[in-house]
Amino acid sequence: MIIGIPKEIKTDEFRVGITPSGVRELCKRGHTLLVEANAGVGSGFFDEEYVEAGASIIATPEEVYSSSEMVMKVKEPIEVEYARLKEGQILFTYLHLAADKELTEVLCQKRITALAYETLKIGRRLPLLEPMSEIAGRMATLFGAVHLGRYNGGSGRLLGGAVGVERNRVVILGAGVAGKSAADAAAGLGAEVTMLDINTERLTYLRDVMPANVTMLYSTHDSILNSIKNADLVVGTVLLPGAKAPKLVTKEMLSDMKKGSVIVDVSIDQGGCFETSHATTHSHPTFEIDGIVHYCVANMPGMYPRTSTIALTNATMPYASMIASTPLHLLLADEVYRGALNTYNGMVTNEAVALAHGMTYKADV
């Protein structure tokens, strides 16, 4: 199969869909790789490395898209890329369609076979979301701590405190991969950490493996409200695979929070779990509402593209190889790939996406 790797053009996005090492593995399996010129530079991978691995360097994104049967990316296509998508093409990337009706409609109109990293599921795991969730979770604590600084609009509290000074409090909504990573980082800095989730099995497991300064609570409206009242940093990592994130903290609830505290919404790709959230960029990462600093960068791992690209390629490679090597009707008979499928032959094939946009859902393909 001919696989195209375009350069990512979303604001402040420096990751790339595959490393030269990943290219080499796919070429060994008989596939043709077309990489847009300078696509990997932001991640520290140069054209000559891709050529050495077996890829052809293509001058323009239009040629990459038009010549490829399958396109591998990191982020969802943005408006300027819609026209480049070729009818009937396979698209393998993060899509987050529940938060983007326009893109959903474009993929249907162009009859794109869209397979989303974030809805590919094995058991209860989301293996293609996990590496980015781990990175984003750690970043949430680190950047939350930075924005608690007075010069960044925060309360001026050092996360973890100091000798003779009380510890600061971190509340984490969601106890998945991102939530645990955020908690690990916050606990390591010495903060008092509270994690909230509705999965009691997960909370029990984390109670047994997390340090003593991490507390587990069952997530309800009241437990969230009581927790955020005294929080210095609140991290939202809630995920409903393929669906919009639930709004767990309303604008009204902000009035109960301490002025100068910080919210980090890791769930912003799926619409965010704070009612007051809207997507921001690394260039302009924060805004303030009612005295609360909001950090809502929609591509957080893009801050560390080298690490993120390598981690993502490690995760996606086996699935990309299978997609490129298997006839589509056989591929989609596998429930793993069927779960990753979001649009196919002009229809929405993910129920949560269809529900989010009031579109028709097609269960069978």
Three-state secondary-structure class, residue 167: coil
Confidence (pLDDT) at 332: 95
Confidence (pLDDT) at 78: 96
Q: Which residues of the chain have pLDDT under 50?
A: none
CATH for the stretch 130-298: 3.40.50.720
Alpha-carbon distance of 48 to 181, in angstroms, equals 35
Whether residue 236 contacts residue 253, with contact meaning beta carbons closer than 8 Å, is answered with: no
The C-alpha R_g of the chain, in whole angstroms, comes to: 21
Cα–Cα nearest to 289, from 318, 324, 344, 249 = 249
Q: What are phi and psi of 297, to 5 degrees?
A: -70, 130
Amino acid at 34: L
Confidence (pLDDT) at 124: 87
Give the containing element (helix H, strand E) for 229.
none
Three-state secondary-structure class, residue 249: strand
- Model confidence, pTM: 0.90
Neighbours of 79 (CB within 10 A): 9
Neighbours of 332 (CB within 10 A): 19
Catalytic choice (147, 232, 269, 294) = 269
Confidence (pLDDT) at 247: 96
Q: Is 96 a catalytic residue?
A: yes
Fold of 2-126+306-357: Rossmann fold (3.40.50)
Catalytic choice (12, 31, 96, 147) = 96
Q: Is 269 a catalytic residue?
A: yes
Ranges for all domains in the chain classified under CATH 3.40.50.720? 2-126+306-357, 130-298
